Structure 1
């Protein structure tokens, strides 16, 4: 039976648990994320073995007949179910990289429907199916009592009229809006020269204070990000 809360104001307790980290190749995205408490990586880059984080390789696998013997859609559902229903010690889930996850979800839908693109599926069903799957994945991750980190690459957009360039996440805008809409912090990683790395908060859900971050390790990591806490 559902119990209604008391009809009285509650004191906000802001604490970020969902993060979007983006940056150019080798700018320290995965490295920074790997220091969050007890991480598990859903890896698409194929470079997970070079790191120290336990990982699950996410990919579509086809059989000789061209049909899927492993679908990322079913694989991701299986991972979520395991995290929801079985005892484990993981405290952080890394989606590395979310760009590839979206591409592979598209690919799985197209293979199942024997088409080349989502647009080839009649009545907009392809796009509707994709949006539903991505939204469910993001919402299921958000519901876990864990930190969730989405990692994305960087895209440089140049305005030919002004000849100015701007770095943005490479994740398609319509997909970025779904993911970022469920995140608390957006962090941009950059590398200058051979050994200088920076991290900058480019968007946030609230103005956080150090005392809001209960986990000392997470607080220490976020203190290294420019613009995280007001001085």
Structure 2
């Protein structure tokens, strides 16, 4: 017989586990993420050789005739399956960069359907498949007992009044999926030779004493607007 949980009030410690980090090129996104405990980087940026963390290059592999040999969707499924196995020592998964993963998923789908653009797949089926793939990827990562970090580049948008605002480069329809499953949004930026990090959105008012991992706590303490003083 199925066992229901005990009817009682719980008092869990509130800790962020899923992070979205965005910023301009060379503003310290990857550098900051590399200091999280035992990271594994799912890399698309071509700079994995410059990093100190182990990495896996995410890509679509083609046959000589240009057809798809092995797509990134299959590759990511294999990676997540491997991460679900016992004995894995990685504690942090870094997606660097998230918009490139979405673009490669789109290319994967186009190659498998034999079309040039995802809009060429009839009845909007291509867009539906892509959204489902992104959502499944995010949910599978969230289910892992690890820190998950999504990295995105930054766009500068000038409004009608001539004011400049910064936004993540990840398209809004995918940002909504990713951010909806994140606990913290951090923007990195650089002024002169100094690198800064500021929290622009958070799921809860986290307390430093509730962050059990000392390294994660120290990293978050380096972010402006993280903890109330």
TM-score (norm 2): 0.98
- 1:74-128 per-position Cα deviation (integer Å, ceiling 9, x unaligned): 0000000000024221000000000100000000000100111111111111011
Matches within 5 A, 1:1-231: 2-159=2-159, 161-193=160-192, 195-231=193-229
Structure 1 gap segments, 5+ residues each: none
Q: 1: distance between equivalents of 2:2 and 2:46?
A: 45
Structure 2 gap segments, 5+ residues each: none
SS at 2:186's partner residue? strand
Q: 2: distance between equivalents of 1:119 and 1:216?
A: 47
- 1:110-163 per-position Cα deviation (integer Å, ceiling 9, x unaligned): 01001111111111110111111111100000000000000000001111x201
Q: 1:12 to 1:118 in 2, by over 3 A?
A: same
Q: 1: distance between equivalents of 2:5 and 2:198?
A: 38
TM-score (norm 1): 0.97
Q: 1: distance between equivalents of 2:13 and 2:70?
A: 41
Question: Displacement, 1:70?
Answer: 2.0
Supply the RMSD in Å over aligned alpha carbons.
0.9
Q: 2: distance between equivalents of 1:105 and 1:75?
A: 11
